[in-house]
Amino acid sequence: MPVPYRLRKAFNTWLLFVASIYFWTLRTAFWLVNRFFRERKYVTQPSDRLLLISATQAVRMISKREISSTALVESYIHRIEQVNSTINAVVVKLFESARRQANEVDSFIALADEDDIEKKLAEQPLYGVPFTMKDALEVENEIITCGVYNRKDTKCERTAEAIRRLQAAGGILLAITNVPEVCMWVEAVNTIYGRSSNPYDTRRMTGGSSGGEGALLGAAGSVVGVGSDIGGSIRMPSFFNGIFGLKPTPGLIPLTGHVPEPTGYKKHMLRIGPMCRFAEDLPLMLRIMAGENAKA
């Protein structure tokens, strides 16, 4: 027997009233807690000029000997050390290997002529620039947990194809950032590394699952990074932390080396993609990560 229209309308009106009271109560409760019981903390604005240039600009300046790769890497290392106690975004630091790679870049630039440098940049368009990535892409000989406690001591035997391409393009992997357990939550929190916080207000969340990456980029602790997205995991942290991110076309960037490995329909939904502080770096990162697919 169909429910009379008036009864349905009355029920919907009552339901909306109850919902409005419920959400008003929640908003009021959270406002009171944040206003009187939780202190707002945030990261300071960067003063180092090297933190205020895009990766695209940095590559050009390194090639013209206006800045050194070592100076750029050291600036980001110092910034990470400065902000990470506030936002808890970085979970693995690869500083020493980054310093060695930056020194190799500077040694080449110092001795090379203009033709050699131009050829190098054509082959390696991210030459000398540091980048970061979420804790969900394999890196050979590094511990990648995907927020899963049972993986906290497991080292990888290979490097994810997207990361390998960035390294082959001259990018220097600087750090690995926090994620929720199995990358399946709307903020970056797990039982290994704890919770990451929004750089603009530590009482607020980072979004997920690439939340640590979003927070670090938003805090100027990195210039470009790598995330992955199945239902908003690049887009939400980008929105929450005031940066730029892109979920690419299916199949454009290979999923090889993603943790967890996608199966079934997830292969068609999951994407690996770039996250950047400056919009002009999105095309650069996408072209590198897409490889031959970028030419199609």
Which residues belong to the active site? 134, 209, 233
- Sign, CA torsion 141/97/53/284: negative
Q: Give the residues across from 172 on adjacent strands.
A: 130
φ/ψ of residue 247, rounded to 5: -95, 110
Number of C-alpha atoms within 13 angstroms, CB side, residue 261?
A: 5
Which residue bears the tokens 């903020």?
187
Instruction: Give the CA radius of gyration of the chain.
Output: 22
Q: Report the distance separating Cα 246 and Cα 283, nearest Å.
A: 10
φ/ψ of residue 145, rounded to 5: -100, -25
Tell me, rounded to whole angstroms, the distance of Cα 208 from its chain centroid: 10
Q: Phi-psi bin for 66: left (phi > 0), alpha (psi -120 to 50), beta?
A: alpha
Quick check: bond before 260 cis, omega within 30?
A: yes
